[in-house]
Amino acid sequence: MKDYLVRLVQVHDTFRVPELEALAEMAGVELEVVKYANDSPYCTIRLPSTAAASALISRSILGSAIYELWGSGTTYDDLHDSVKSRTQELWLLYKSVSFRFSVDTFQGKRSTSAQREIIESFSYVGFDGPIKMNNPEEEFVVFEEYGFRAPDPHKFYFGRLIATSARDVVQKYDLKKRRYISTTSMDSELALITANLVLAAPGKLFYDPFVGTGSFPIATAHFGAKALGSDLDGRSIRGTKDRNVLSNFEQYGLNGSWVDGFVADLTNVPLRIGKGRWLDGVVCDPPYGVREGLKVLGKEGVGTEPVYVDGILAHLEGYIPPKRAYSFEAMLGDILDFATATLVDRGRLAMWMPTANDEDIDLAIPSHPCLKLVSVCVQPFNKWSRRLLIYRRIPDSKVDGEAAAVRKKRVVGCGLKADDLNAFRKKYFQGFKEQNPNLEDGGGEK
Amino acid sequence: MKLLTLNFLTCARRTCKSSPLSFPLHPCDAELEIADVDFSLDFLRNILPRLEWDAMVALCSELSLPLSATVPAAAELSGAGDEPTQSAKDLHHLLLETNITAGKLVCGNCGHEYAIKEGIANFLLPAHMV
């Protein structure tokens, strides 16, 4: 195992390590995170080989490049000592190749002359090859990390470039350039990260039950996977004649990756359940009522008679069935049950959810005995935040049978109908009492 | 709608889920169309063991399309040098390039009909069935 330095981008910080771990799993390499901090773009990891490092970074969205770590320190003297003791025997390998040196600063700046001075302080490595600014055979980088508004750097690294990432694709899939989007289309960067976290790869099949304009299937398709999608609102899939989900795939030359879209509701999902599991992943951003109301089929005081229009069963012609409000928690439970019933062993579920509902009540991370929570990533906004939950399907042989039986009973028992709509509130008051046992003594508070 | 998708679809009604008759759905007045899709051996290999082959055979006989009664073995998909065999290409053509663009899908248990228009099926149940 050798040490490598990953140059991360300083956005979506809590997504970065989960992405590295997912990339390692896909590349089939062992990964050990040696040093990582949410406020730093420099992450030290341990990998079996340079080939593993290249494979790992090739699909990364949140890493920009990976370097063979030659040294690190808290001062330049430290750094030079570290480089001399770790890499002396490597210097000869690069003695006559063309090369380039550069300085990468985080939250700091160096003038060109200061950079030159820094670079020249490494002259002891004795590289005699030609210096090429474009396409050199080897590239060496000095990294300086500054604290926020600090005048001087507090951490230094030196590394040899192994490979750069695929981060440029974020621009390719930018929503501003996509022909068909809606108000709730997932930002291309986050959709691509989500696709990495569910291990999208050639040959795999994914499903998005809230497909909208197809942001997730497009991201999984970029990595070679195929996808099915459904939505309660058929208009979002159909779009217009030349702007619809399929046209988005055509825009990126990914036509074959879109298997099908259909109009359906997750609570009455028309997909095969219980015959053998068949999905590699479920990816979704369920509507949680901030921008899109939460609805499922049905209406209060359910109608019992078929509706006819001009003597024809109305549901066969453009009839729009009534929908009712639905509890977000119940929907999350339905998604977990669905994923359990359809995901192959080690298949993954990616689910976006807000950390609190519109009444500012924290939402618990839902759990299922057949699904292992792999990572929780948080995207903060100004007044709220949402998180991306990643689960892995546990093989049946390793599931806690008792817990699974309890779960089954729960689903049957309360039926997950819209009656649970008040669960947030109920829970809130229960939690409130537990956290503040003295409140009742305080009196007068209601 | 690709024929592959039909291998994953059942009746949307919960009361039908337990009945073996609700899968597969039966196409009715189906209009078929062929659309090219890039061939992927990875995908065929991955998806083949997950198909309900009997349902695939039943569907093909209803649509008068040829399909062998036994599942092709994984080894039959590729020949020397990982070249796809003719049977792999045929399977790809059937599963991914053959589409139902219009018609209905009928549940064998409750008889409910789901409309397919422009290749997109609508599984929303009317209020009296939810």
Size of interface A-B (CB pairs under 8 A): 137
CA A129 to each of CA A96, A103, A135, A195, A230: distance values in angstroms, whole numbers, following the listed order: 4, 19, 14, 42, 58
On average, the pLDDT of chain A sits at 87
> What ipTM was assigned to the predicted interfaces of this complex?
0.96
Q: Is residue A446 part of a domain?
A: no
The whole domain housing A96 covers 2-164
Q: Is there a single domain that holds both residue A316 and residue A226?
A: yes
Predicted confidence (pLDDT) per residue in A376-414, tens digit: 999 988 777 889 999 999 999 999 888 888 887 665 434
Last residue of a domain, one of A110, A139, A164: A164
Q: Is residue A332 part of a domain?
A: yes
Question: What pLDDT, on a 0 to 100 scale, did the predictor assign at position A435?
Answer: 44
Q: Is there a single domain that holds both residue A143 and residue A188?
A: no
Residue B49: which CATH number? 2.20.25.10
Q: A216 to chain B, minimum CA–CA distance in Å?
A: 18
Q: Is there a single domain that holds both residue A295 and residue A434?
A: yes
Asked if A262 and A194 touch (Cβ cutoff 8 Å), the reply is: no
Confidence of residue A183 (pLDDT cuts 50, 70, 90): confident
Last residue of a domain, one of A107, A135, A164: A164
Q: Is residue B51 part of a domain?
A: yes
Question: What count of residues does chain B have?
Answer: 130
Q: Is residue A65 part of a domain?
A: yes
- Residue that wins the pLDDT comparison between A167 and A383: A167
Q: Is residue B27 part of a domain?
A: yes
Q: Is residue B129 part of a domain?
A: no
Is the model's pLDDT at A432 over the cut of 90?
A: no
Q: Which tokens is A165 given?
A: 């990432």
Question: What pLDDT, on a 0 to 100 scale, did the predictor assign at position A429?
Answer: 52
* B122–chain A Cβ distance below 8 A for any pair: yes
In this complex, do A322 and B127 lie within 8 Å of one another by their Cβ atoms? yes
Task: Please state whether the predicted TM-score (pTM) of the whole model is above 0.90.
Answer: no
Residue A428: which CATH number? 3.40.50.150
Is the model's pLDDT at A415 over the cut of 60?
A: no
d(CA A35, CA A143) in angstroms, rounded, equals 15
Q: Is residue A191 part of a domain?
A: yes
Cα A143 from chain centroid? 27
Q: Is there a single domain that holds both residue A160 and residue A188?
A: no
Q: What is the mean pLDDT of residues B97-121?
A: 96
Predicted confidence (pLDDT) per residue in A52-69, tens digit: 999 999 999 999 999 999
Q: How many domains does chain A have?
A: 2
Cα B100 from chain centroid? 10
Q: Is residue B80 part of a domain?
A: yes
Q: Is there a single domain that holds both residue A131 and residue A206?
A: no
Q: Is there a single domain that holds both residue A12 and residue A132?
A: yes
Q: Is there a single domain that holds both residue A143 and residue A192?
A: no
Q: What is the mean pLDDT of residues A310-338?
A: 77
Q: Is there a single domain that holds both residue A336 and residue A404?
A: yes
Of all residues in chain A, the one with the smallest CA distance to B97 is A256
Between vectors from CA A380 to CA A374 and to CA A382, what angle results, nearest 5°? 165
Give pairs for B15-21: CB < 8 Å, separation 24+: B15/B110, B16/B107, B16/B109, B16/B110, B16/B112, B17/A273, B17/A274, B19/B109, B21/B107, B21/B108, B21/B109
Q: Is residue B17 part of a domain?
A: yes
Q: Which residues of A touch B104 (CB under 8 A)?
A: 316
Give the rounded percent of residues in chain A with a pLDDT score beyond 90: 70
Of all residues in chain A, the one with the smallest CA distance to B13 is A268
Is the model's pLDDT at A446 over the cut of 60?
A: no
Q: Is residue A391 part of a domain?
A: yes
* Element housing A76 (H / E): helix A76-87
Q: Is residue B126 part of a domain?
A: no
* Closest CB from A204, A237, A268 relative to B13: A268
* φ and ψ of A152, to 5 deg: -125, 150
Q: Is there a single domain that holds both residue A123 and residue A187?
A: no
* B87–chain A Cβ distance below 8 A for any pair: no
Helices (H), A343-416: 401-414
Question: What pLDDT, on a 0 to 100 scale, did the predictor assign at position A440?
Answer: 40
Per the rule left: phi > 0, alpha: psi between -120 and 50, beta: everything else, A346 is left
Q: Is residue A285 part of a domain?
A: yes
Q: Is residue A203 part of a domain?
A: yes
Q: Is residue B66 part of a domain?
A: yes
Residue A36: which CATH number? 3.30.2130.30
On average, the pLDDT of chain B sits at 93
Q: Which residues of A touch B43 (CB under 8 A)?
A: 202-205, 226
Nearest to A259 by CA among A294, A215, A207, A310: A207
Pairing of strands A42-47, A2-8: antiparallel
Question: What pLDDT, on a 0 to 100 scale, did the predictor assign at position A413?
Answer: 34
Last residue of a domain, one of A130, A164, A198: A164
Q: How many domains does chain B have?
A: 1
Is the model's pLDDT at A441 over the cut of 70?
A: no
Q: Is residue A431 part of a domain?
A: yes
The whole domain housing B76 covers 3-121
